[in-house]
Amino acid sequence: MDCVFDDKRIAVVFLMVWLVIVVAVFKDIGLLDTKFMSAGPSDKTVFMGMVLDTWYKWGLVAAFTFVNTSINDFMSDAISPWLLNTITDHKTKYLPYSKLTCLAISQLWSVYCNVMSVFGLFLAMTQVDFVLIRMAADLTVNMYTNMRFMRNKVTSPDRYKRDVEMELAVLDPDTQPMVPESDKSMFSIEEESGEQSKA
């Protein structure tokens, strides 16, 4: 299981296999024949007690679903990492705003998430077309935000592995990080230049 935990490519493949198994099992017991798997307006489509029996009502909820999911995903990717890396991380010593402002951002974000989670819960229980609309918004916004996160990064598996091992070494001093061969020459040059400067 170590490879599934460490290699995110294997982890995603594992998740997709499990997803196919779950869908196949529930299909076998009749999931596709339930009213949840319907699409469009009907007298059985109920959202928070409201019957969506016209295209106008269904369209408003569908538009709300897409726009609301997009806003939630975008702001979650903008605020949640900031709270984690700037506010709660003890290694960060400086704040971009006053402490009162940071606290207000954190609290208002919590209030917003709690209120919107109610709408999300009812949408997920309405019918499958709203779930698909949410998925489309998720994929669209996550594509943009993830590209923003990766815009200044380069692909280097060896350096990534070295950085992870060095972080583990900080947590566990008995762990010796393995330096890739491509980096050893760089470190040796730096050490030699340091010794020459001392001489």
Total domains present in the chain: 1
Does 18 map to a domain? Answer: no
pLDDT digits (tens, 9 = 90+) for 62-79: 999 999 999 999 999 999
Report the Cα 130 to chain-centroid distance in Å.
20
Whole-angstrom Cα distance, residue 146 to residue 136?
15
Q: Is 139 inside a domain boundary?
A: yes
Q: Report yes or no on 175 lying in a domain.
A: no
Question: E strand or H helix at 51, and its extent?
Answer: strand 50-51
Structure tokens at 53: 């029996």
Whether residue 63 lies inside any domain: the answer is: yes
User: Which token pair is 197?
Assistant: 């400067």
Confidence check: pLDDT of 182 > 70: no
Name which of 95, 77, 188 is nearest 138 in CA terms: 77
Pairwise CA distance, residues 79 & 68, whole Å: 16
Tell me if 50 sits within 8 A of 43, measured CB to CB. no
User: How do residues 125-159 score in pLDDT, each as one tens digit?
Assistant: 899 999 999 999 999 999 999 999 899 888 888 88
pLDDT of 32 over the 70 cut: yes
116 in any annotated domain? yes
Per-residue model confidence (pLDDT) at position 115? 94
Instruction: Identify the domain containing residue 124 by its residue range.
Output: 54-149
**pTM of the complete model:** 0.73
Q: Report if residue 162 sits inside a domain.
A: no
